Chain A
Amino acid sequence: MIKSELIGKLVEANPHLYQRDVERIVSTVFEEISSALSRGDRVELRGFGAFSVKKRPARIGRNPRTGETVQVEEKHVPYFKTGKDLRERLNAD
């Protein structure tokens, strides 16, 4: 399922809303999550999962092609942990 299909399903389930409003709602939700993470905040959606940012320490990397060593700087990466309910639903059979 891609974003436009998600929007399509929501439009179908909410015939009283304009498609353009549903598009804005979906974008707003993902934008809120992204902007929270870029502030370093955590996003916790019980039952679904939690988004957070992890810090990867600086390390000495290696270019796999040339074998040359390179200094890789410390960096922040997004991380998602699946919520308990969803994890259980994925394995309910």
Chain B
Amino acid sequence: MGKRTVTRADLSEAVYQEVGLSRNESTELVESILSEISSSLVSGENVKISSFGSFLVRHKGGRIGRNPKTGEEVPIEPRRVLVFRPSQVMKERIATSLKGRA
């Protein structure tokens, strides 16, 4: 229990079992879902999946960073970052099912 890593192959297998498309087509659909979400985010549009969570694009301003090892100052350019905000439903589900686990 726990600490397994789920990959695209597992998601495709689940789609294959659930819907009965071919394995190839299941794999393609999983890929299409990820690529539609990515394109939307790259175009600057947030993605909200109810009862799962939201992927939000945030703009970060430039700042002067520092290499912690050498102490050298390095400029950090303004950039866009992606944050995932899990839904309340997902947070509760995880907190409940893993309660008391190491």
Seen from chain A, the residues whose Cβ lies within 8 Å of a Cβ on chain B are 1-3, 6, 9-10, 13-14, 17, 21-22, 24-26, 28-34, 36-49, 51, 53, 75-80, 82, 86-87, 89-92
Q: B97 — which chain A residues lie within 8 A by C-beta?
A: 38-39
Contact-residue size bin, chain B (C-beta under 8 Å from the other chain): 35 or more
Of A28, A30, A86, the residue contacting B19 (CB under 8 A) is A28
Q: Are A78 and B36 in contact (CB under 8 A)?
A: no
Minimum distance in angstroms from A77 CB to a CB of chain B: 7
Cβ-neighbour of A21 out of B7, B19, B33, B90 (below 8 A): B19
Is the CB of B91 closer than 8 A to any CB of chain A?
yes
B74 adjacent to chain A (CB < 8 Å): no
B69 at the interface (CB under 8 A from A): no
CB contacts (< 8 Å) of A36 on chain B: these are: 4, 6, 10
Given A25-B29, A29-B33, are A37 and B5 also a contact pair (CB < 8 Å)? no
Given contacts A1-B47, A32-B11, A46-B8, contact A10 B36 (CB under 8 A): yes
